[in-house]
Chains A and B, each alone.
Chain A
Amino acid sequence: MNKKGLLIGVVAMIFAAGAGYYAAHRQMATSSAADIASAQSLLSASRAGASGKGDAAALTAALSGKVITVKPGELIQDAVNKALSGDTISVMPGTYNETVYIDKDNIALIGMVQEGQWPTLDGMGKLNDAVLYSGNGIRVENLKIVKFKGNAIMGQAGNNFVIRHNWIEDTGVYGIFPQFGQNGLIQYNVLSGIEDAAIYVGMSDNIQVDHNEVHGNVAGIEIENSRHAVVENNMVVDNAGGILTFVTPWLPIKTTFDVIIRNNFIVGNNHKNFGAPGSIVSGVPSGTGVIVMAAKDVIIENNVIRDNKNAGIIVADHKSFANITIDPESDPYPDRVSVLSNLFSNNGYEPIDDIKALMVASLTTHGPDIVAVGGGKDNCMVDRAAHATLGIAGWATTCVKTSTADIVTLLLDKPATPRSTETASKGEVLYKGICAGCHTYSARMIGPPTQIIQALYAGNPQGIADYIAKPTKKREDFPPMPSQGHLSPEMRKAVAEYMLSVKK
C-alpha cells in the first residue's frame, strides 16, 4: 500500500468507528432508559459470549427497584437520599447545579435524553464535583456534565461500577475518576477540556475502558497503579498525551500490571500541555501517543498510532523523569511490555530535546514510533523493521503472547464481593461495632456480660437506650461506661433492642 492509500485506509477506519459511535448515540437519544440498558446488555452479551473470563452483562443488568424521577427545579440529591438499594434515579432534561453524592449501594443515576435535550449538571465554575460515590454497584449514565472544578464523576472505593454514555466538558482536574474500585466498566463517554486525565483509573482492579472519545485534554486515558485493565476501541485524539499506563510512586497501592491497550485510534495527540504546575501529567511531553512507565505485563496491539509529534510510544522507568520521586516500595522499571502488530505512521516528527539527543546518538533522522528509555526487562516488539524505533535494541523481536484475541475482558466473572453490612440490621451493626468492644454475651470483659444486662432490662429496651445516652457509674468493679449520647434516640433504641435479643 502506498502512503496515500494508507492514509485513506486510516481515514476510512476512523470514519467507521465514528459511525458506530454515532449510531450508539442516536440510539441512546431516542430510547428509554430501559431500552438502552437492554441494548447495552445485548452489546455486552455478544462480547461476553466469546471465550473471555469476564462478564460485563452482569454489571449492566437493569436494577430491580423503583424509579424515582427528578425534574428541573428539583434536587437530584433529594432523590438519592430517598433511594434504596436497587432504585433507579431518572433525571429529566434540564439544568441541575449541584454536587450529587451517593454513599449507598446499587443506585443507578440515569439521565433521560429527549429529542437531543440532555439533563445537564452544570458546576458553573464554582462547584467542585458533579457526582461523588462511595457505594458499590453505582451506575452513572446519560448525563451531560460541564464546568466543575474537580471532577465530573469520582468514585472512592465503589466496586462494580458502570459509567457510560456521559458527555463531559471542562470539569476541572479529571473527567471520570474511579479510585479504589474493583470491577468497573467505562464506555461510550465523550470527554474534552480536562486539565489532567479525561478518564483516570487510579488504584483500581478489573477495569474495562472502551468506546470512549477523549480529545483536547492533557491526558486522554490513564491506567495508574491499577491491575487487569483493558483499554480498547477508544478514540484518543488531540490530547497532550494519549493513553498512559504507569506507576506513580508514593501512592499506597504500588503496582500496575496486566494492561491491554488495543484497537484504539491514538492520533495527533499534540495539544499543548496545560496541566497544573507540579502535577505528574505536566511532565508529559506534548505529542506523545502512549506512555508506559514502570508498568508490567502491558500488551499494545492493533492500535492506530499516528501523527503524534513527539513519539508514538514511550516506554520509560521512573528514573527517566525529573519530577518523579523514587519510592523504595515501587519497582521503577517497565517489564514484559509487548508491542504486537500496530499501525504506526508519522510519529516523532517534532520530538523533545531528550529524544533528539537519542536520535543523534543512534545516527537516525527518523522520529520514533517507539522509544524506550532507562531500564526494563523482557520487553518485546514484533515487526519492528517496519517502524522507527529508538532504544529497543535489547528487546526481543518476537513476543511470547502473540495475540490478545482470547481475552474478551478483564472484568470479573461475577461482581466483586460487596463491602457491606447490608445484611445486618442497624442494631446489629451498632452492637458489634460499639458495644462488643466492652461486652460479650456471657464473659466478663471491660463491661458486665450482655446476659446480665438482659436480665436487668428484660422487656425494657428504652431503659438501655436512656442509660447509654448518659451512663452513670453503677458497679464498683467496672470502669465507667463511655457515653453514647452522640447516637440518635432511634439508634440507641435499635441497639438496645438488638442487645436484648442477642443469644450468644
Chain B
Amino acid sequence: MRNLLILVVLLWTHPAWSGDIQLSSQCPASFEKHEGHCRLVSNYTNYTSLENGGVGGLKTGLPAIRDGFTAEEIDLGRYLFFDPLLSGNGKQACASCHNPDKGFADGRQFSLGSTGLETTRNAPSLWNVGFLKRFFLDGRAATLEEQMQGPLYSKAEMNSSPDKILANLNGNKTYRRLFATAYATSFVQPKADIKIDQVYRSIAAFETSLISLNSRYDLYAHGFPDALNKQEIAGLNVFRSFVARCAECHTPPLFSNQQIVVIGTPEPPGHAFDPGAGSYSAEPRLRGGFKVPSLRNVELTAPYMHSGRFKTLREVVSFYNEGRGHAVPKEEKLLLHWHIHEPKLTDVELDRLVDFLKTLTDESFRPQRPTVLPSGLSASK
C-alpha cells in the first residue's frame, strides 16, 4: 500500500514539476540553426518577388520574416504564451484567445477577457504572424512587442501590468532560471532580474515561429498540379480573377498585401459602428478601415471579420457579392475600397471559392502545448 502511494505520488508529481523544465536548444519546425540563431527553411526562400514586396502569384517570395531568434528565446516564449501567470488574476494566457487547437484564434465572435468581460473584436489568428508589418485588426501597432501590450494590460483582456508580470516572474525560481538560460549575458550577476523587454521579446520569438506554408495550395504553387482537384483550381481561378478580385488584397503567397482597406462589413445588431483605423489615423478616409488578414488556415478560424459577424466562409464570400456598401449604416459616409464592387459571381463560383480557401489549411507545424508550466498553473485548453 505504501509503495503504491509512492508510485502514485511519483506519477503525479513527475510530469507536474516545473523544476524539470529545460528550454529546447532545437529550433522549431521550419527553422534551421544558423550561427546560433533560428532561420526559416522554406521553398519560398528560393523565390524572389517584385521589389522584394513579398506579393505576387505562384512561386513568389514571401515578405521578409522576422527570424533570427535563438531556440531558447522561442521556447521560453512558448511557456510564457501558454502561462496564465501573465494575466492579472492568473486565469488567462495568450493561448486562451489564440488557441493552437482553434487556428490560433478562439472560435468566438468576440473574445472574453480574464475577468469575463467581452472584448469588442474577433481574435485574429497568429499563424505566419512573423511576416506581418502591422498588428491588431486595425493595424495600429508596428511590432509584436507593441501589440502584445494591448491585451496584456487591457482591463477587458488579461488585465495585468508590467510590474505585476515582473513580480510574478521574478518570484518564480523556474522562470528566473529559464530567463537566465535564454538571456545569459543579462544574467551574469546572479541577482539580476527579469526585464519586461525580455518577456516581450520571448513571446514575439515564439509567435514568429508559427509557420504554415505546407498547405495543398503550396504544393500546387511549387509545381505539383495534381495537389488541387478540379473544383479547387476552379476556385483558385475565381479567387485571382479580376471579377472577384480576392487576390488583389489577399495576395499570394501570404494571402495578404498587408494594407488597410475600408470594405464596410456589418456590425452585429446592437453594436456601434467600429471605426477601425479611423480611430487612430489622421486620414478621415480610413474610417472603417481594417488590415487585410492573411487567409492561411482561414478554414480553422471562424467566425470571420473584425466583428465575427459571419459564421462560415460561404457567408464571407457572399458578403463580397452583395454589392458595394450594402451593409454600411446609412449615417456612415465611408470611402469604400475600389475593389469592393458587385462581381455577380454565381452560387457555383462562390462554392468553388470556399473549396479553394480550404486548400490553404496547414497546421503540420503546430507547436506543442506544454504539459507543465513554470508557474505550476494549468495550460489546459
* Residue B280 CB within 8 A of the other chain: no
* Residue A5 CB within 8 A of the other chain: no
- Please state if A151 and B242 are interface contacts (CB–CB under 8 Å): yes
Partner of B32, one of A276, A426, A433, A440: A440
- Please state if B257 and A252 are interface contacts (CB–CB under 8 Å): yes
Which residues of A sit under 8 angstroms from B50, Cβ to Cβ? 157, 180-182, 203-205, 253
Q: What is the CA–CA distance of A85 and B251 in the complex, to the nearest angstrom?
A: 25
Residue on B nearest A329 in the bound complex, by CB: B259
- Please state if A429 and B285 are interface contacts (CB–CB under 8 Å): no
Residue on B nearest A482 in the bound complex, by CB: B364
Which residues of B sit under 8 angstroms from A173, Cβ to Cβ? 242-243
Q: Using an 8 Å CB-CB cutoff, how does the interface string of A215-228 with B read, 1 for contact, 0 for none?
A: 00000000000010
- Please state if B341 and A278 are interface contacts (CB–CB under 8 Å): yes
Nearest CB on A from B159, distance (A): 32
Q: Using an 8 Å CB-CB cutoff, how does the interface string of B221-260 with A read, 1 for contact, 0 for none?
A: 0111111000001000110111110010001100001111
Which residues of B sit under 8 angstroms from A445, Cβ to Cβ? 26-27, 32
**Chain A positions 232-272 with a Cβ under 8 Å from a chain B Cβ:** 250-253
Which residues of A sit under 8 angstroms from B46, Cβ to Cβ? 419-421
How many chain B residues touch A (CB < 8 A): the figure is 71
Q: Using an 8 Å CB-CB cutoff, how does the interface string of A161-178 with B read, 1 for contact, 0 for none?
A: 000000000001110010
Q: What is the CA–CA distance of A433 and B214 in the complex, to the nearest angstrom?
A: 7
- Please state if A486 and B216 are interface contacts (CB–CB under 8 Å): yes
Which residues of B sit under 8 angstroms from A99, Cβ to Cβ? 237, 241
* Residue A488 CB within 8 A of the other chain: yes
* Residue A382 CB within 8 A of the other chain: no
Partner of A180, one of B56, B222, B237: B56
Q: What is the CA–CA distance of A11 and B340 in the complex, to the nearest angstrom?
A: 43
* Residue A323 CB within 8 A of the other chain: yes
Most chain A beta-carbon neighbours within 10 Å: one of B41, B247, B258, B344:
B41
The stretch from B3-11, B58-66, B302-310 touching chain A is: B58-66
- Please state if B55 and A129 are interface contacts (CB–CB under 8 Å): no
Which residues of A sit under 8 angstroms from B244, Cβ to Cβ? 128
Most chain B beta-carbon neighbours within 10 Å: one of A128, A172, A251:
A128
Partner of B59, one of A154, A157, A434, A479: A157
Contact A278:B214 (CB < 8 A) given known A252-B258, A438-B29: no
Q: What is the CA–CA distance of A128 and B346 in the complex, to the nearest angstrom?
A: 11
Q: What is the CA–CA distance of A438 and B32 in the complex, to the nearest angstrom?
A: 9
Partner of A444, one of B26, B218, B240, B337: B26
Which residues of A sit under 8 angstroms from B366, Cβ to Cβ? 482
- Please state if B222 and A433 are interface contacts (CB–CB under 8 Å): yes
* Residue A81 CB within 8 A of the other chain: yes
Q: What is the CA–CA distance of A486 and B358 in the complex, to the nearest angstrom?
A: 13
Which residues of A sit under 8 angstroms from B182, Cβ to Cβ? none
Nearest CB on A from B169, distance (A): 27
* Residue B163 CB within 8 A of the other chain: no
Contact A252:B53 (CB < 8 A) given known A99-B237, A134-B59, A437-B214: yes
- Please state if B29 and A446 are interface contacts (CB–CB under 8 Å): yes
- Please state if B59 and A421 are interface contacts (CB–CB under 8 Å): yes
- Please state if A421 and B222 are interface contacts (CB–CB under 8 Å): yes
Which residues of A sit under 8 angstroms from B47, Cβ to Cβ? 419-420
Q: Using an 8 Å CB-CB cutoff, how does the interface string of A433-457 with B read, 1 for contact, 0 for none?
A: 1101110100011100000000000
Which residues of B sit under 8 angstroms from A132, Cβ to Cβ? 237, 240-241
* Residue B97 CB within 8 A of the other chain: no
Which residues of B sit under 8 angstroms from A440, Cβ to Cβ? 32
**Chain A positions 389-441 with a Cβ under 8 Å from a chain B Cβ:** 417, 419-422, 426, 429-430, 432-434, 436-438, 440
Partner of A482, one of B216, B226, B335, B365: B365
* Residue A279 CB within 8 A of the other chain: yes
Residue on B nearest A248 in the bound complex, by CB: B338
* Residue A459 CB within 8 A of the other chain: no
Nearest CB on A from B35, distance (A): 14
Partner of B243, one of A172, A280, A479: A172
Nearest CB on A from B128, distance (A): 14
- Please state if B56 and A156 are interface contacts (CB–CB under 8 Å): yes
Q: What is the CA–CA distance of A390 and B365 in the complex, to the nearest angstrom?
A: 61
- Please state if B241 and A154 are interface contacts (CB–CB under 8 Å): yes
Residue on B nearest A174 in the bound complex, by CB: B242
Q: Using an 8 Å CB-CB cutoff, how does the interface string of B4-46 with A read, 1 for contact, 0 for none?
A: 0000000000000000000000111111100000000111001
- Please state if A157 and B57 are interface contacts (CB–CB under 8 Å): yes
Q: What is the CA–CA distance of A326 and B285 in the complex, to the nearest angstrom?
A: 8
Which residues of A sit under 8 angstroms from B216, Cβ to Cβ? 486
**Chain B positions 326-364 with a Cβ under 8 Å from a chain A Cβ:** 335-338, 340-341, 344, 363-364
* Residue B283 CB within 8 A of the other chain: yes
Is the interface on chain A under 10, 10 to 19, 20 to 34, or 35 or more residues?
A: 35 or more
Which residues of B sit under 8 angstroms from A357, Cβ to Cβ? none
Q: What is the CA–CA distance of A158 and B252 in the complex, to the nearest angstrom?
A: 13
Which residues of A sit under 8 angstroms from B363, Cβ to Cβ? 482
Q: What is the CA–CA distance of A277 and B325 in the complex, to the nearest angstrom?
A: 11
Nearest CB on A from B322, distance (A): 15
* Residue B368 CB within 8 A of the other chain: yes
* Residue A312 CB within 8 A of the other chain: no
Q: What is the CA–CA distance of A112 and B108 in the complex, to the nearest angstrom?
A: 57
Which residues of A sit under 8 angstroms from B91, Cβ to Cβ? none
* Residue A487 CB within 8 A of the other chain: yes
Q: What is the CA–CA distance of A319 and B35 in the complex, to the nearest angstrom?
A: 49
**Chain A positions 102-129 with a Cβ under 8 Å from a chain B Cβ:** 103-104, 128-129
**Chain A positions 276-297 with a Cβ under 8 Å from a chain B Cβ:** 276-280
* Residue B324 CB within 8 A of the other chain: yes
Contact A156:B324 (CB < 8 A) given known A433-B218, A445-B27, A479-B368: no
* Residue A32 CB within 8 A of the other chain: no
Q: What is the CA–CA distance of A156 and B239 in the complex, to the nearest angstrom?
A: 12
Which residues of A sit under 8 angstroms from B123, Cβ to Cβ? none
Nearest CB on A from B6, distance (A): 23
Q: Using an 8 Å CB-CB cutoff, how does the interface string of A147-163 with B read, 1 for contact, 0 for none?
A: 00111001111100000
**Chain B positions 205-224 with a Cβ under 8 Å from a chain A Cβ:** 211, 213-214, 216, 218-220, 222-224
- Please state if A81 and B225 are interface contacts (CB–CB under 8 Å): yes
Which residues of B sit under 8 angstroms from A10, Cβ to Cβ? none
* Residue A101 CB within 8 A of the other chain: yes
- Please state if A491 and B224 are interface contacts (CB–CB under 8 Å): yes
Partner of B58, one of A157, A252, A438: A157
Where the two chains meet, the residues of B that have a C-beta atom closer than 8 Å to any C-beta of A are 26-32, 41-43, 46-51, 53-61, 211, 213-214, 216, 218-220, 222-227, 233, 237-238, 240-244, 247, 251-252, 257-262, 283, 285-286, 324, 335-338, 340-341, 344, 363-366, 368
- List 20 interface pairs A-B (beta carbons < 8 Å), by A numbering: A104-B223, A134-B59, A156-B247, A251-B259, A252-B251, A253-B53, A276-B341, A278-B340, A278-B341, A325-B262, A326-B283, A328-B283, A419-B60, A420-B46, A421-B222, A433-B214, A433-B222, A436-B41, A437-B31, A437-B41
Where the two chains meet, the residues of A that have a C-beta atom closer than 8 Å to any C-beta of B are 81, 99, 101, 103-104, 128-129, 132, 134-135, 149-151, 154-158, 172-174, 177, 180-182, 203-205, 227, 250-253, 276-280, 323, 325-326, 328, 417, 419-422, 426, 429-430, 432-434, 436-438, 440, 444-446, 479, 482-484, 486-488, 491
Knowing that A205-B51, A444-B26 touch, tell me 19 more A-B residue pairs with CB under 8 angstroms: A81-B225, A150-B241, A156-B56, A157-B50, A157-B59, A173-B242, A180-B50, A203-B55, A250-B259, A276-B341, A279-B338, A280-B338, A419-B56, A433-B42, A433-B214, A436-B32, A437-B214, A446-B29, A479-B368
